[in-house]
Structure formats: structure tokens, C-alpha cells
Amino acid sequence: MCRGWESILKPPHHKSDALTAEPRYSTSSFRYPLIVVVVVVVVVILAIVVAVVIEVAVLAVVVGVVVVVEVVKVVVVVVVVVVVVVVVVVVVVVEVLIVVKVVVVVVVVVVVVVVVVVEIELRSSSNRRSSSRSR
């Protein structure tokens, strides 16, 4: 009866060694757990790979967004600088034109004054000659 109970209490895949009275495992009993371990390892590796791929994809999107934002910022700065330069050039050209206009007006006034003075001198000199001839 004892032997019957021993066979019930021992797992079916254990075989008792007569000398040591310890269970002995057969190689066929390890196949199922080995497959489970391999499947678990493969699933864990695949999960890690998928997590890394997802993280890289998210980082790529974030880096892409950051790059686009930086490019837009640079373009905005360049456009603002170009607009400021154009405005400064237009203001300088307008100021130069105003100065040129003033210079032209001054030159014309000076020329007119010189012509008038020369004309007056010529008439006055002509009048003196004619008055000296008439005497």
C-alpha cells in the first residue's frame, strides 16, 4: 500500500533512482518548459524591440517637429531682417533724395543770385560807360 501511495504522491515525470531514492528527471520532461522559456524570451525580446522602435519613432517625430520649428524660426528671423533692411534702405534713399533736392534748390538759388548780380553789374558798368561817353 505504501508503494501505491508513493506513486500517487510523486509527479508522473519523476522516476525514482533505486540507489539514491531521489527523483530523476528525464530529458523529455524538459522539452515543454524549454519551449516555454524560449517563447517567453522571444516575446520579451520582441517587446523590447517594439518598445525601442516606438521610442525611436516618437523621438524622430519630436526631432522632426523641433527641426521644423527651428527652421520656421530662422525663416521668420531672416524675413524680419530683410524687411528691416529694406525699410532702412528706403528711408536712407528718401533722406538722400531730400538732401539732393535741397542742394539742387540751393544751387539754383545761388546761380540765380549770381546771374542777377552779374547782370546788375554789367548794366551798371554799361550805364557808366554810356554816361562817360555822353559827357
Q: Which is it for the CA torsion 73, 75, 80, 81, positive or negative?
A: positive
| Tens of each residue's pLDDT in the chain, 135 residues | 455 555 555 555 555 555 555 555 555 555 678 888 899 999 999 999 999 999 999 999 999 999 999 999 999 999 999 999 999 999 999 999 999 999 999 999 999 999 999 999 888 887 777 776 665
Whole-angstrom distance, CA of residue 91 vs CA of residue 96 = 9
pLDDT at res. 26: 55
Q: Are 10 and 16 in contact (CB under 8 A)?
A: yes
Specify the DSSP element, H or E, that contains 25: strand 23-25
Q: Are 26 and 13 in contact (CB under 8 A)?
A: yes
Whole-angstrom distance, CA of residue 51 vs CA of residue 44 = 10
pLDDT at res. 43: 96
Residue boundaries of the structural domains of the chain: 2-128
